[in-house]
A and B are shown apart, each in its own frame.
Chain A
């Protein structure tokens, strides 16, 4: 057997009281696609950031092609051929693709950047690895999938032999995921090695050669994908048997307790919203969500979903009208809308949904400060009681209300947001990407919460990049493309293929687009 591309030996890392990695061993062979899976907070990102020199380990060794990496830093790791594509892209939007790629290692002519040389080099690199992209375009104008390619190019430009991708598919549409996978296959065919982190076991089975499962900072399994199964991996990730969404047949036709009522919970009429740079982002969207109904919004990121939700929540100015339970709420400020019973699970949980420096308890009253205070004084006792209850209901870990939310994993942060929003007993819920980047366990809990809110009569607008989630939960699915509703599917008549085609601007073959209600 050849020398492994990367070997991690006995890696341990603690953040305060939390052990992120506990003497983890990981071996990645040259030329393989290696998936690292695990729940949120299992220590996947930390482990790979250590491998890439971005974080330092408390103990353990990093061995790259047989040689130990001494005093690891990101620069040393890159010099030894390890490059990481972070979950959140680090690009400069007004710069061109080529400028972003060469940044920090620019070809120069005298003191000046040699733009032609840069573009030529980037073009050659893109062609070689099958990454279709025009190096002269501005990054600001690219789709998310294209931006990801720029990130991959950045790493390749620095001669990375081993590419580490942190949750590369979390932001992509299904078609883009396929493209990404073919890029990964080309990379491996050309002798590179790929490690990627994911929650989606389907992807592991589709593209990876080998998979390592982390749970609570420890390796619990390491297997060839041909010798394992999705069920087995899911069990290993969570530690006990869980129901995997979308795996059991018949789940999609699940028996609905009360059918949707005839009264609309949320009505949106002729909504127009301007997005960044004053471009129209939502163009005349109308929809009506009944009590006890979940309406899904499918679409590739950047087609107006974000603006649609933020406008309905009162966070962006708009024209058109929004009615909650029959009453117009257009003149109400965001806080007043929350108070009237419009819950909002924001897409950007870290900036919008949480005050990271606040404790779990304090975050659980955000938007309900008034209810938890008397004569301007915060009611500490009630706040703590509320926190203990929510933390238990949603299995937030660690279950200590005084913990700062910044110390929680992404999945647990999202549980805090969802717990808070559902505890308002809302009439309608705007749920934007409620399970993006969270693990199976958290996803299960969040879905259960949404279903029970629906059964309690809430009308839910569910925006998701995950078609499987929409097909599981939604009573009907609207497809948003360039700010307009281009198609509508009822439960049962929707297929991933049909929705996927509409999402990228194609014509619907089986079901012609219908005007929304």
Chain B
């Protein structure tokens, strides 16, 4: 809360420096996000990928792992969604096509997450290094495949997915959202967050995973197979990031496009931090960051949208500092 207020304050100072009325900028910010039906739809659309990457980073955090690779996992997930979605015969019923596409996204992301998991379990390679490197590899693979094999001439994207694989726009149910690409992937995100919460706190796998993250020595003592759990956690993290493609490919453009991810994987780290790696917190944090990035576009006419990034940065810094302070307090107690 403090983080948001502090960030807004600095944001206002910047607005003043641009010679704009702070109140006017705030007004536009509100109108462009939560003030109108279209704005809300836009916010939800921008929130959706952050839920997936936030959960991805969050589940890795819970296991004591730092997944910087959500970006690459998301790219490959989206690519898989696009490829599977466009290869299916047009006559495939939606009940088959949609789950297949979602599964493909999860599987591709998971495969890309398992790699650093195995490298860590087998060779002790630090996941921060390997996941960062694998981001570049993932993007290169995606570029290469799209450009050489899959591209529709004159564009940078793959063929469109078949009609039945396309998921509902929310505007079909809530007319106020008209014009925004918010789609059923947002609902999927909420469901996945709920499932995540259940797995973490109600199942044995969740117990083992959290024990490993909090006290690796005690987890090993308590019979957690550390290597297996490391691979599993990274695979799960990758799969969650891979679901980003559902929002963009199944719900919006209907094809995979170069460079669509635009840093959602990295923003997922901030989302997971702010949400304290708790699924509910992650959904809320994703909403906040979704609001900010939509808000940046809304106020672009008055002040550069980069000021919104300053606001994000302030929030991240304050949250990171607060996390440090509270953990130190607990240590002293």
Interface residues of A (CB under 8 A from B): 15, 54-55, 313, 315, 333-336, 338-339, 344, 346, 348, 351-358, 362, 366-367, 369-370, 373, 376-378, 380, 406-407
Residue pair A378, B214 in contact (C-beta under 8 Å): no
Residue pair A352, B223 in contact (C-beta under 8 Å): no
Assembled-state Cα–Cα distance A338/B225 (Å): 13
Give the total of B residues in contact with A, Cβ under 8 Å.
Answer: 23
Residue pair B205, A354 in contact (C-beta under 8 Å): no
Residue pair A355, B211 in contact (C-beta under 8 Å): yes
19 CB < 8 A contacts A-B: A15-B333, A313-B221, A335-B223, A335-B225, A339-B223, A351-B217, A352-B218, A352-B221, A353-B218, A362-B207, A366-B211, A366-B218, A366-B222, A367-B223, A369-B207, A369-B222, A378-B202, A406-B333, A407-B333
Q: A354-B218, A367-B223 given. 19 additional CB < 8 A pairs? A: A334-B220, A334-B221, A336-B223, A339-B223, A346-B221, A348-B217, A352-B221, A353-B218, A353-B221, A355-B218, A356-B214, A356-B215, A358-B210, A367-B222, A373-B203, A373-B207, A376-B205, A378-B207, A380-B202
Nearest CB in chain A: distance from B204 CB, A: 4
| Majority secondary structure, B binding face | helix
Residue pair B218, A351 in contact (C-beta under 8 Å): yes
Nearest CB in chain A: distance from B327 CB, A: 11
Chain B residues near A351 (CB-CB < 8 A): 215, 217-218
Q: Of all chain A residues, which has the CB nearest B205?
A: A376
Query: Does B330 sit at the interface, judged by CB under 8 A?
Result: yes
Residue pair B330, A355 in contact (C-beta under 8 Å): no
Chain A residues near B132 (CB-CB < 8 A): none
Chain B residues near A406 (CB-CB < 8 A): 330, 333
Residue pair B221, A333 in contact (C-beta under 8 Å): no
Nearest CB in chain A: distance from B220 CB, A: 6
Chain B residues near A366 (CB-CB < 8 A): 211, 218, 221-222
Residue pair A333, B225 in contact (C-beta under 8 Å): yes
Chain A residues near B203 (CB-CB < 8 A): 373, 376-378
Assembled-state Cα–Cα distance A313/B221 (Å): 8
Chain B residues near A407 (CB-CB < 8 A): 333
Task: Pick the contact of A376: B204, B219, B221, B333 (CB < 8 A).
Answer: B204
Residue pair B221, A344 in contact (C-beta under 8 Å): yes
Chain A residues near B219 (CB-CB < 8 A): 355
Contact with A along B217-246 (1 / 0, CB 8 A): 111111111000000000000000000000
Assembled-state Cα–Cα distance A109/B258 (Å): 59
Given contacts A366-B211, A366-B222, A369-B223, contact A352 B217 (CB under 8 A): yes
Residue pair A335, B214 in contact (C-beta under 8 Å): no
Assembled-state Cα–Cα distance A70/B270 (Å): 40
Assembled-state Cα–Cα distance A353/B221 (Å): 7
Given contacts A333-B225, A338-B223, A367-B223, contact A377 B218 (CB under 8 A): no
Chain A residues near B223 (CB-CB < 8 A): 333-336, 338-339, 367, 369-370
Chain A residues near B215 (CB-CB < 8 A): 351, 354-357
Contact with A along B190-222 (1 / 0, CB 8 A): 000000000000111111101100110111111
Nearest CB in chain A: distance from B16 CB, A: 38
Chain B residues near A370 (CB-CB < 8 A): 204, 223
Q: Of all chain B residues, which has the CB nearest A16?
A: B333
Residue pair A357, B214 in contact (C-beta under 8 Å): yes
Chain A residues near B148 (CB-CB < 8 A): none
Query: Does B332 sit at the interface, judged by CB under 8 A?
Result: yes
What are the 7 A-B residue pairs with the smallest beta carbon separation, nearest first? A335-B223, A366-B222, A373-B204, A367-B222, A355-B215, A351-B217, A352-B217
